[in-house]
Amino acid sequence: METKRHPFMKVIKDVRSLPTIPGIIAKVLLLLDDNKTSFKEISRLISSDQTLSSRILRLANSPFYRFPGHVSTIPAAMLMLGSKAIKGLVLTSIIFEMTDKNSLGYWEHSLGTATAANIIAKRLRVAKPEEVSTAALLHDIGKVIIKSKLRDDYEALLTQIKEKEVSMREAELEMFEVDHAEVGGWAVSSWGLPEVLCEPIACHHDVEKAETYRVEAAIVHLADILIKANGFGFTGDDFVPPIQPAAWEVLNVNEPFLEEITVELGHKLIEVHEFSQGIQSV
Amino acid sequence: MRNILLASAREKMILAKDIAHPSGPDRLPIYRKGTELTEALIERLAGMGIQSLAVSERSDNGEEDRDLQERLDALEYRFKRLDGNQLMMNLKGIVRKQLIYSMENDHGD
């Protein structure tokens, strides 16, 4: 059944219609890849762009990373977050350009999922929780890409979701035989994001598919579900997907754990709501 | 009702839930639901270390009850396709409990 999938991926992968990455961002991404480049050089380059640096600092101080105190400089943000998470934030600044002014629901869902992922990752003592939250922040980028490249099809997707009462993923698979997770994973990988971020994005609806970063993919999967369960934000459909057995197994958690996370999340989501209302103005 | 940070609290907003002193031994309410916020009251709350609070634009209870019922109905809708999944039904129960608790302490467990 290549008939639907092939033309869809052809449009998605057409570089001419990929969102343009501004020169400064392309350069920062290249430097972040180069092991010989010092933190100082990258910091200087990021700091030279006021919009980029203010967005990174705003995100570094957001409720989902939960750092004590205020991160006020780019070098401090780089030290606290690490280059992989910074790379995710640089790409997040591209999504700001891609989403329209009415995307509060998308931001709330993404920021909420990043917050839930951070809470889960810290409780499970994952080595780098900031990387998991950054993957969670970007997990639905495939939806933004589908919307920006295929406006008419996106409208048809929304109609199908409403009429058939299906999830966005089900409608995507029905219409394109590809879902937003695969599109997002492909896009961030082609933009040079490290595998620790790409795989959880690509596998957040199919945790079993994750080979290297299954725990991270399972955390993003569970965080996404908890945010949908709370009805926080909106990304196309209302339905809560089931927790996959593969995710439950690899995380090795139980229902009291879910309750603790839900209670902690309830307090944090007030902050996230306020934060996301201001985020697009940066 | 909505939960807001104290930094976003403004005069004339109405407290949607009682506020207890955060370090008081008995957690008895010191400001009652329905109280209208003033600058002086906001400053006092800040001085007590209160960081967030629940406010409503209107003070009538009927409005709040409808708000809670709407949220509970929306929760049922979000989980409607998961009826046979015990884990997900339990998660719905957890979220429901938290939702009721956060909106109306006296409706909680």
Q: Burial, A189: exposed, middle or buried (Cβ in 10 Å; 0-12, 13-18, 19+)?
A: middle
pLDDT in the model for residue B101? 86
Q: Are residue B24 and residue B44 in the same domain, yes or no?
A: yes
Residue B8, both tokens: 């976003």
Q: Are residue B22 and residue B49 in the same domain, yes or no?
A: yes
Q: Are residue B7 and residue B46 in the same domain, yes or no?
A: yes
Size of interface A-B (CB pairs under 8 A): 59
pLDDT in the model for residue A69? 78
What mean pLDDT comes out for the span A87-97?
A: 77
What mean pLDDT comes out for the span B39-54?
A: 86
User: How far, in Å, CA of A173 to CA of A182, rounded?
Assistant: 11
Q: Are residue B45 and residue B86 in the same domain, yes or no?
A: no
Residue A184 pLDDT more than 80? yes
Q: Is residue A2 part of a domain?
A: no
Q: Are residue B65 and residue B79 in the same domain, yes or no?
A: yes
Q: Is residue A64 part of a domain?
A: yes
Domain harbouring B19, CATH code: 3.90.105.10
Which range of A67-81, A146-160, A222-236 scores highest in mean pLDDT? It is A222-236
Closest Cα in chain A to B93 = A259
What mean pLDDT comes out for the span A191-219?
A: 94
Which A-chain residues 145-164 have CB contacts (< 8 A) with chain B?
A: none
Subunit contact B98:A274, Cβ cutoff 8 A: no
B15 three-class SS: strand
Residue B11 pLDDT more than 70? yes
What mean pLDDT comes out for the span A65-78?
A: 84
B94 contact residues in A (CB cutoff 8 A): 255, 258-259, 262
Q: Are residue B37 and residue B82 in the same domain, yes or no?
A: no
- Residue B5 Cα to chain centre, angstroms: 12
Q: Are residue B32 and residue B45 in the same domain, yes or no?
A: yes
Q: Are residue B19 and residue B52 in the same domain, yes or no?
A: yes
pLDDT in the model for residue B109? 36
Q: Strand B52-56 relative to strand B19-20: parallel, antiparallel, unpaired?
A: unpaired
> Given A165, A242, A255, which is nearest B90 (Cβ)?
A255
Closest Cα in chain A to B89 = A242
Subunit contact A240:B88, Cβ cutoff 8 A: yes
pLDDT category of residue A213 using cuts at 50, 70 and 90:
very high
The interface predicted TM-score (ipTM) is 0.82
DSSP class of residue A67? -
pLDDT category of residue B107 using cuts at 50, 70 and 90:
very low
Residue A26 pLDDT more than 80? no
Domain harbouring A45, CATH code: 1.10.3210.10
pLDDT in the model for residue A270? 84
Residue A27 pLDDT more than 60? yes
The answer to whether B78 and A231 have CB atoms below 8 angstroms apart is yes
Phi-psi label, residue B27: left if phi above 0, alpha if psi -120 to 50, beta otherwise: left
Q: Is residue A16 part of a domain?
A: no
User: How far, in Å, CA of B52 to CA of B6, rounded?
Assistant: 5
Q: Are residue B50 and residue B76 in the same domain, yes or no?
A: no
> Given B78, B82, B95, which is nearest A262 (Cβ)?
B95
Residue A44 pLDDT more than 80? yes
What mean pLDDT comes out for the span B88-97?
A: 96
What mean pLDDT comes out for the span B58-63?
A: 56
Residue A223 pLDDT more than 90? yes
Residue A135 pLDDT more than 70? yes
What mean pLDDT comes out for the span A142-167?
A: 89
Q: Are residue B12 and residue B52 in the same domain, yes or no?
A: yes
What mean pLDDT comes out for the span A203-214?
A: 97
Residue ranges making up the domain that contains B65: 61-107
Closest Cα in chain A to B80 = A239
Q: Are residue B29 and residue B69 in the same domain, yes or no?
A: no
pLDDT in the model for residue A20? 52
Residue B94 pLDDT more than 90? yes
pLDDT in the model for residue A200? 97
pLDDT in the model for residue A2? 55
Domain count, chain B: 2
What mean pLDDT comes out for the span B20-32?
A: 72
B80 contact residues in A (CB cutoff 8 A): 239
Domain count, chain A: 1
User: How far, in Å, CA of A64 to CA of A85, rounded?
Assistant: 13
pLDDT in the model for residue A276? 74
Residue ranges making up the domain that contains A37: 21-279
A243 contact residues in B (CB cutoff 8 A): 87-88, 91
Please give the mean pLDDT across all residues of chain A.
Answer: 85
